[in-house]
Amino acid sequence: MTSSPSKFGQLLREKRMAMGYSLRKFAKLANVSPTYLSLVEQGNADPPTVERVTKMAELLDENVDEWISLAGRVPDDLPEIIQSQPVQMPELLREASGLTPEQLQKLTEQARRFNRNNKRST
């Protein structure tokens, strides 16, 4: 998913307003200044940090991972996950990159089953 500061800011503004938050109220809840939030919404500032995007997504009842991606960021836990299996994880991601959303969902469900089985056997 490719994004730009203006696309992120535009979506942020649309969702914020749809949820009934004023700029000042939302800025306060997200722990940013109203000026900065306005700049982000106008595409005149880089999107916020992962932590702030996470807070904003939660306030807007949106998927955190999707919003982090929209902001052009990477979730904080992913580098460690990739580094824990430096050959297999990048390979898995590259192979999975061509799958449909439905296929990715099935792969995710299978991975969850593997994880549950691994936890039971330890």
- CA–CA distance, 20 with 15 (Å, rounded to integer): 9
What's the pLDDT band for 6 if we cut at 50, 70, 90? Answer: confident
Q: Is the pLDDT of residue 5 over 80?
A: no
CATH assignment, 5-70: 1.10.260.40
- CA–CA distance, 23 with 14 (Å, rounded to integer): 11
**How high is the pLDDT of residue 15?**
97
Query: Checking phi first, is residue 49 left (phi over 0); if not, alpha (psi -120 to 50) or beta?
Result: beta
**How high is the pLDDT of residue 4?**
64
pLDDT digits (tens, 9 = 90+) for 42-83: 999 999 999 999 999 999 999 999 999 999 999 999 999 999
Distance linking the first and last C-alpha atoms of the chain: 37
Q: Is the pLDDT of residue 14 over 50?
A: yes
The overall average pLDDT reported for the chain is 93
**How high is the pLDDT of residue 77?**
94
Question: Domain segments of the chain: what residues?
Answer: 5-70, 78-121
Q: Residue 16 in contact with residue 78, Cβ under 8 Å?
A: no
What's the pLDDT band for 91 if we cut at 50, 70, 90? Answer: very high
- CA–CA distance, 81 with 93 (Å, rounded to integer): 12
Q: Which of 15, 6, 2 is nearest to 70 (CA)?
A: 2
pLDDT digits (tens, 9 = 90+) for 22-35: 999 999 999 999 99
Q: Is the pLDDT of residue 95 over 90?
A: yes
Q: Residue 82 in contact with residue 90, Cβ under 8 Å?
A: yes
